Amino acid sequence: MSYIAVAGGVNVDIGARPFQRLRTKDSNPGHVHTSLGGVGRNIAHDLRLLGAEVELLTALGGDGYARAMAESCAALGIGLGHALRVPDMRTSTYVYISDERGDMELAVSDMTICEKLTPDYFAAHLDVLNGAALVVADTNLSAEALGYLASHLTAPLFVDPVSVSKADKLAALLPQIHTLKPNALEAELLSGVSVVDRNSARRAARKLIDLGVTQVFLSLGKEGFLAAAEDETVWEPAPRAEVKSTTGAGDALMAAIAWSWLRGENLSRTAALGAAAAAITIECEDTINPELSAEAVLRRAD
């Protein structure tokens, strides 16, 4: 069976949501919860819920969080046999605070260990990467590591830019990227087109296609997202959903895009399935909604 290789970060996610409107520089009564996450791991987790086989190439420290991560991946069936173990370092940790509606307000990420995911590491596992049906990478990897993947992969490369501060690593790699999933700010950075509405999103997506990307899925948050390829553009509105937390919606979207490509879906159907996966995810307070499945996504999309 074909598998998907995911190259990226894992995190322990510590999230906080106040009961009432967030007050800065003050203690806010609310709810705090801890879960296992990271963009790479979240995408891998969502892919497994969708039924895909997954190999996760990442770095784990020598702490209790790493043991919890390994146990969780084993239980989910996520392959960790090629992950890098760094006993003298901390596993990445991500702390975020949302508003009372569940929309993220602020986050701090400690991902120093990702610096160990070097080109040499990926070179040692190039057979695993190129044996995959496709590779999903996130920009928690260094610019050098991303450059190595872009220039050495024969499998299609799907990339999640993660954040504006990390997206600039992709500027010189766009011709080697098959599928890119930016938000408005990331797309603006990479395309040079100011993204403020659907029309400007369309122009930015076309520019990214002109720069060499095969497919672009440009998110405008609660409005929906634009899917574009060389000869087609699709606007996908956000489905109705009871929002509990928006954290993880983008990861679910990327997972569904990769899963749909593996299924041979066209651009329009991929957009619909991606929107459905994101909607299911935001209806759960955790970053991953355990109710996500191929059946649930297909039912929601229809």
Q: What is the pLDDT of residue 239?
A: 77
Q: For the CA atoms of 7, 9, 10, 12, what is the dihedral angle to 10 degrees?
A: -170
Average pLDDT on 24-45 reads 92
Query: CA distances (Å), 95 to each of 15, 105, 107, 108, 280, in order?
Result: 6, 11, 5, 5, 23
Both tokens of residue 1? 């069976």
Q: Does pLDDT of 37 surpass 70? A: yes
Please give the residue that has the higher pLDDT: either 242 or 68: 68
Please give the residue that has the higher pLDDT: either 34 or 251: 251
CATH architecture observed for domain 3-301: 3-Layer(aba) Sandwich (3.40)
pLDDT (tens digit, 9 = 90+) per residue, 244-253?
878 789 999 9
Q: Does pLDDT of 1 surpass 70? A: no
Q: What is the pLDDT of residue 110?
A: 87
Average pLDDT on 206-215 reads 98
Domain residue extents for the chain: 3-301
Average pLDDT on 140-154 reads 97
Query: What is the pTM (predicted TM-score) of this model?
Result: 0.90
